Amino acid sequence: MSAKASKAAGTLRFEESARQIAANARYIAGGVNSNFRLGMAPGPLVFERGEGAYLVDVDGNRIIDYYCGMGATVLGHSPAGVIEAVRRQAERGILFAGQTPIEHEAAKLICEHVPSAERLRFGSSGSEVAQAAFRLARAATGRRTIVKFEGHYHGWFDNILWSTAPGLNAAGPADAPTPVPGSRGQDPKAGDGLSILGWNDLAALEQRLARGDVAAVMMEPAMCNQGAIAPAPGYLEGALAACRKHGALLIFDEVITGFRLARGGAQELFGVTPDLTILAKAIANGYPVAALAGRADLLDLFAEGVLHGGTFNAQPVAMAALVATQQALTPEHYGCSSARGQRLQDGIRTILAEAGIKAQVAGFPLMFHIAFGLDQPARNYRDVAAADKAACVRFALAMLKRGVRVLERGAWFVSSEHNEAVVDATLEAVHGAVREIG
């Protein structure tokens, strides 16, 4: 049966991916190079190429992709401008262990568009620049403690991989969460410098800050690692005011929200400017670039004894990708892409409601989330954790068999390449998937 016919019947098959993953495991642990690529049904997929909103796998399936590189490919999988910029820079050179004009251009673009970015430093991953943010905050304040929130993810390192997706049986009471490590082998003492709170609870945050020992509060300004949850009215403003009052810094993790919720990220959308911001993913449409940006007086500490290094920081080819990506993120891009993303989100909500399937479809035009089994929109991690995860997995598999790839945790990322025809095809697949799981 052809891939097209299989898609029509909702029976895409993935035997060659399974065979290649098994072969990979001879040399690559688990057959993949990130644990976040494990666990999905029917198994990890192997892709040959990307074309706009589509991925083509080794079984010949052409699949509409809403993973978007885990949120990174805001311009789709093959943007001509980015590809050409990368080609031109690669011909000039790949890595110099020195500075280049292109990194200045890249930094200027970020500082012009992200409200908190007076200065920045580039890195290679969100996990990495989160560590730089913690070091900077501790140097600036002379304090040790970092406040983080249940369900928020700031990287896979031992000192921050706590309570990112804890089981509620282990998480303790909502008003005094128990820190839960995220991995076997994690140093149990690495979390000693953390204080875990529930998000969107301003009173709890103010009470914790009043103890006077917090260097920084780190949060996703819109909770998108788990769900796609907006801050409660006044929450971000209150958090900033409380940090100011008690001498702590406010750090926004905009690895996911940056360049998706708005050109200037969630801080532009919600009108709250933090002290520091970490950026990655969509900053360069899939090239390995991250940044720590913020107040000039804080970032300048990196030239005054606070160590920040990295062989691949501001790698010229990646900087060229960043510049081309940022130049493409025009008001027209956000207007068109957001309209289609909102139509998709509204269409899914309508289809689920008409089928009598209880679910909350919530979030933002270019990043939203489906939580099955919830009566009300989620406000925090514990609300999201109560959703029917098994239903989400069944739905994702039913969609994949119909040629649409969505994350099993319920997240959907939309790119500029998800045009009207792609949205129509997606909604048709939703109709079929709902009939299958209903």
Q: How far apart are CA 315 and CA 321, in angstroms?
A: 10
DSSP 8-class letter at 62: E
153 is catalytic: yes
CA 206 to chain centre: 27
List all residues 6 or more positions away from 187 whose beta carbon is below 8 Å from its beta carbon.
158, 159
Paired tokens of 290: 């991250």
173 upstream amide cis, omega within 30 of 0: no
Residue 407, sorted as left (phi over 0), alpha (psi -120 to 50) or beta, turns out to be: beta
From 281, 287, 334, 381, active-site residue: 281
CA 43 to chain centre: 22
Residue 386, sorted as left (phi over 0), alpha (psi -120 to 50) or beta, turns out to be: alpha
Paired tokens of 60: 């010949």
281 is catalytic: yes
Where are the strands (E) in 265-387, listed by range? 276-279, 290-294, 359-364, 367-372
From 57, 59, 253, 383, active-site residue: 253
Q: How many CA atoms, within 13 angstroms, populate the side-chain half-sphere of residue 62?
A: 11
Q: What is the β-pairing status of strands 62-65 and 47-51?
A: unpaired
Paired tokens of 84: 């050409």
3-state secondary structure of 11: coil
Task: Report which of 154, 152, 147 is spatially closest to residue 205, judged by C-alpha positions.
Answer: 147
From 66, 153, 235, 381, active-site residue: 153
253 is catalytic: yes
Paired tokens of 425: 């095809």
CA 273 to chain centre: 20
3-state secondary structure of 14: coil
Sign of CA dihedral 92, 82, 409, 32: negative
For 368, list phi and psi in degrees, rounded to 5: -140, 175
Give the CA radius of gyration of the chain: 22
3-state secondary structure of 368: strand
| The one-letter amino acid at 227 | G
Residue 52, sorted as left (phi over 0), alpha (psi -120 to 50) or beta, turns out to be: left
> How many other C-beta atoms are found inside a 10 Å radius of the C-beta of residue 85?
21
User: Would you please indicate which residues are annotated as catalytic (active-site) residues?
Assistant: 153, 253, 281
